[in-house]
């Protein structure tokens, strides 16, 4: 029996939360913004924490961007069926095009349309993310590190560009530093989730040429046995990711105080993931490395201290703090 595209889409929607469906009539802007904020704060606790450091006037824009990323990701990963996911992602891409024509219907795109207009954001970073989510349906192995970074170009780097656009930056120099940081964050997450990605999604993000160089085969990952060769492979990938973080750090000094605090917080969080991997002797196959509550608290305290010290300094100068 042949299943047409409409059936694929309907079956895909059935596997997702009901509110993800495209409504017949678009919501108001206030309703759409409330929808996006609710999604951001319920599904991603770190986003809520990070939003403390953002100027209030920008928070609705970050909510709408997060909601777009979240729903797009779920369309790709949560249906359990590749064909259904591809059909939904194609439909989502059509809705993105409609948004840029001023014909938004879904709450995400109603809210995002206002963000796009207010911040003058081109379609490219949004469309690039969909390239990555489509690729997830068909590509599960990578031959070279360049291939992995090419994937990061679509899966992670556009998010950094969107953040910079919202905060008023649009130059290639800042984008380049942001790309280093975003790719490093993506790699840190890959190395943290090696076991989950393999067993739950049949994905291996280690470059195949690196695995061959260190004498690690897929059976090692499948068996969950952390061999000396695997530890050396993991050490190499962790060091490479740390180098990318270091290349991106200059961006912190090239943006305003609020965004700098956010960037510093996320970069240090990514570096803490790498440290957690090192502290369990690169064994990510037996247990998932995690940042301890005490370290999370220390990162948050450091960020809060920077926030309030900056505010007090601005007030002492007679400036208006955000």
What's the confidence (pLDDT) of residue 132? 97
Which residue, among 196, 218, 219, has the nearest Cα to 207 in the 3D structure? 218
Q: Which domains does the chain have, with CATH numbers?
A: 1-121 (1.10.600.10), 139-309 (1.10.600.10)
Whether 248 and 181 have beta carbons less than 8 Å apart is answered as yes
In angstroms, how far is CA 259 from the centroid of its own chain? 17
Please, which residues have CB within 8 angstroms of residue 193's CB and are 6 or more apart in sequence? 284, 288
Interatomic CA distance for residues 65 and 133, integer angstroms:
16
Model pLDDT, residue 157: 96
- What pLDDT sits at residue 3? 67
Q: What is the pLDDT of residue 312?
A: 47
Backbone angles phi, psi at 227, to 5 degrees: -85, 165
Task: Tell which residue, 85, 196, 84, 213, has the closest CA to residue 143.
Answer: 213
Per-residue pLDDT, 47: 46
pLDDT given at position 320: 46
Measured from the Cβ of residue 168, the count of other Cβ atoms closer than 10 Å reads 12
142 forms bridges with which residues in the sheet? Answer: 207
pLDDT at 305: 62
Q: Retrieve residue 312's tokens.
A: 């007090």
CA distance 301 to 315: 21
DSSP bridge pairs for 207 = 142
The confidence score (pLDDT) of residue 281 equals 97
Average pLDDT over all residues of the chain? 89
Q: Which residues of the chain have pLDDT under 50?
A: 1-2, 45-50, 307-315, 317, 320-322
């Amino acid at each position: 029996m042949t299943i047409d595209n409409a059936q694929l889409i309907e079956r895909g929607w059935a596997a997702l939360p009901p509110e993800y469906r495209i409504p017949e009539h678009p919501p108001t802007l206030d309703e759409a913004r409330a929808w996006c904020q609710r999604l951001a704060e319920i599904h991603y606790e770190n986003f809520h924490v990070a939003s403390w450091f953002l100027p209030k006037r920008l928070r609705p824009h970050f909510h709408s961007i997060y909601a777009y990323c979240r729903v797009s990701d779920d369309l790709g990963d949560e249906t359990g069926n590749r064909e259904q996911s591809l059909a939904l992602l194609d439909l989502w891409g059509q809705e993105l095009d409609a948004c840029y024509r001023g014909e938004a219907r879904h709450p995400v795109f109603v809210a995002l349309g206002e963000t796009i207009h207010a911040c003058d954001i081109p379609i490219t970073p949004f469309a690039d993310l969909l390239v990555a989510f489509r690729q997830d349906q068909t590509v599960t192995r990578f031959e070279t590190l360049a291939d992995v970074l090419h994937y990061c170009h679509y899966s992670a780097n556009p998010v950094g560009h969107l953040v910079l656009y919202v905060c008023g930056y649009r130059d290639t120099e800042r984008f380049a530093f942001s790309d280093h940081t975003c790719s490093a964050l993506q790699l840190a997450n890959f190395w943290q989730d090696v076991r989950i990605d393999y067993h739950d999604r049949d994905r291996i993000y280690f470059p195949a040429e690196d695995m061959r160089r260190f004498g690690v085969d897929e059976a090692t990952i499948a068996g969950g046995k952390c061999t000396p060769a695997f530890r050396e492979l993991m050490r190499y990938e962790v060091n490479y990711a740390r180098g990318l973080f270091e290349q991106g750090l200059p961006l912190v000094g090239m943006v305003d105080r609020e965004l700098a605090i956010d960037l510093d917080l996320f970069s240090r969080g990514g570096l803490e993931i790498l440290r957690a991997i090192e502290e369990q002797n690169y064994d990510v196959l037996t247990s998932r490395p995690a940042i301890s509550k005490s370290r999370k608290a220390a990162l948050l305290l450091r960020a809060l201290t920077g926030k309030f010290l900056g505010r007090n300094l601005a007030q002492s100068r007679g400036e208006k703090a955000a």
